[in-house]
Chain A
């Protein structure tokens, strides 16, 4: 990974941040009617509306308004929530913990289970276990994660009472309770990702095990375990990292619905509350944040990719 490649990747990342901001700004400027009127309600006086219009810079052209708005974003000012009557950023940060917890746990479970299943299947290709793993990959892919979430909630939480429902415990309070409060949502989100990643791991390992350098290593008398670790796995990591990065972004997106099923007070639940109250500044803030997070994951994936495979400097 050369410094110039790194700088270029960061620059395109920043351009993507800009593009996400422009698109978000554009979507939220499609609001029918006068935003000042919407915020103040129908009974507001003309003077109050006019004052707010000037405060919100609605008297300026849309292009100019974007730069004021974007400048504020860069300073961490996402505007004020109309439902909570305080800055969006504060409301956002309070809800970020649960979402981050679920995303990380679900990502970790995905990695763990996919590697176990993928390597297990790879050791005996075209055997019964390989067939079972491939069957799991195909079925796991088509089960909607929110449906799985509903079934898990109804069965394990409401019927059997094994897991709490509708509560979240921060990790600082009790790690054990934290794990129990986010296990079912994380598990529901990991299934699809695991189905995809398992298939990728199995195929990447198989493809690389047929390479010349593996045959050479084996004929030199290198231990099979070392061949797997140092020769096959190391080269197979490139597609695995790329696909895992993609899966992590879709897990993050999946938290939106999953949090609402399990009543976890994260960004997804906050988003729906905000939509219900038509608290558009808050909706906009959450949309931007999840968008920025996704970009950060993509950049991290590309950097890891370039570190693993110096040939690919895209």
Chain B
């Protein structure tokens, strides 16, 4: 680091580098708003998302009910707020599973001898051949439909994507000079892994994490839409679409808003991913 730069100067430069990337900023803004909605829903929603109000059935969007109300007079905006919490929760848990599993298996394959590498990677190829939704349906059909099984299935099926990236980076890092020098200096294998390899694995993974959130959210919405994800009365966005589809003529807003919420959240992660890729790979 150049000693002439103060901390404040470093911070200013870092901020400048981030704000330079429009999609990164856009992604952060969209995600902050939706994350805010999700967190706020833990403490406060404009109406009770489960409260039935017979007088307010099928109210169109208005100042009182921003997204309108459903067939029981429940406030759709409040329900969508709870839905954002579920979507982000599913994204977080399944990404943690995919990330953790991928890091472990990929590192094992990258550091291990030839047959370990082959065994792990061929199993990963097999897992990767399953469309995620299909694997999730298989798990849910065996263990029973609930959101926990869905999250695990969506996470497990994405392990190969993380494992492949970790394996490839590990193998290329292993051959780098700083690792050889460390070895020559007598640094042990565990310390090499923790100090020299791990920190360098994370930056390409951040792009995958962002993409995985988008993917998990779409999968959960799809799974809940066919009735195999979240179960009633929990208002996940996919579930809201499933329940309101038959009222389309009377209340089209019930079909529009949950879909827009899904698209917005996916857009947030997609922009964030694009931005991170630009930020980390200046060549492109």
Selected contact of B270 from candidates A18, A141, A257, A271, CB within 8 Å:
A141
Selected contact of A15 from candidates B122, B133, B245, CB within 8 Å:
B122
Q: What residues on A are CB-neighbors of B137 within 8 Å?
A: 256, 271-272, 275, 283, 287
**Contacts A19-B123, A141-B270; A30 near B129 (Cβ below 8 A):** no
Whether the pair B141, A275 counts as a contact (CB closer than 8 A) is yes
Q: What residues on B are CB-neighbors of A24 within 8 Å?
A: 138
Q: Within B232-284, which residues are at the interface with A (CB < 8 Å)?
A: 241, 245, 248-249, 255, 259, 262-264, 266-267, 270
Q: Within A113-155, which residues are at the interface with B (CB < 8 Å)?
A: 138-139, 141-144, 146-147, 150-151, 154
User: Which residue on chain B has the smallest CB distance to residue A249?
Assistant: B131
**Contacts A19-B127, A144-B266; A158 near B139 (Cβ below 8 A):** no
Chain A residues within CB distance 8 Å of chain B: 12, 15-16, 18-20, 22-24, 27-28, 30-32, 138-139, 141-144, 146-147, 150-151, 154, 158-159, 249-250, 252-253, 256-257, 260, 271-272, 274-275, 278, 280, 283-284, 287, 290-291, 294-295, 298
Chain B residues within CB distance 8 Å of chain A: 122-123, 125-127, 129-135, 137-143, 214, 218, 221-222, 225-226, 228, 241, 245, 248-249, 255, 259, 262-264, 266-267, 270
Q: What residues on A are CB-neighbors of B270 within 8 Å?
A: 138, 141-142
Q: What residues on A are CB-neighbors of B225 within 8 Å?
A: 146, 257
Selected contact of A147 from candidates B122, B138, B141, B263, CB within 8 Å:
B263
Q: Per DSSP, are chain B's interface residues mostly helix, strand or loop, or mixed? A: helix
Across chains A and B, the number of contacting residue pairs, with CB separation under 8 Å, is 122
| Measured CA separation A257–B241 after assembly (Å) | 13
Most interface-central of B129, B132, B214, B221 (chain A CB within 10 A): B129
Closest 5 CB pairs of A and B: A19-B126, A253-B131, A147-B259, A142-B266, A142-B267
Q: What residues on A are CB-neighbors of B143 within 8 Å?
A: 30, 32
Whether the pair A150, B255 counts as a contact (CB closer than 8 A) is yes
Whether the pair A27, B126 counts as a contact (CB closer than 8 A) is no
| Measured CA separation A290–B131 after assembly (Å) | 8
Whether the pair A147, B129 counts as a contact (CB closer than 8 A) is no
Q: What residues on B are CB-neighbors of A290 within 8 Å?
A: 130-131, 134
Q: What residues on A are CB-neighbors of B214 within 8 Å?
A: 142
Q: How far is the CB of A156 from chain B (nearest CB, A)?
A: 12
5 A-B pairs with CB atoms under 8 Å apart are: A12-B125, A154-B245, A249-B131, A253-B133, A287-B130
Q: How far is the CB of A18 from chain B (nearest CB, A)?
A: 7
Q: What residues on B are CB-neighbors of A22 within 8 Å?
A: 126
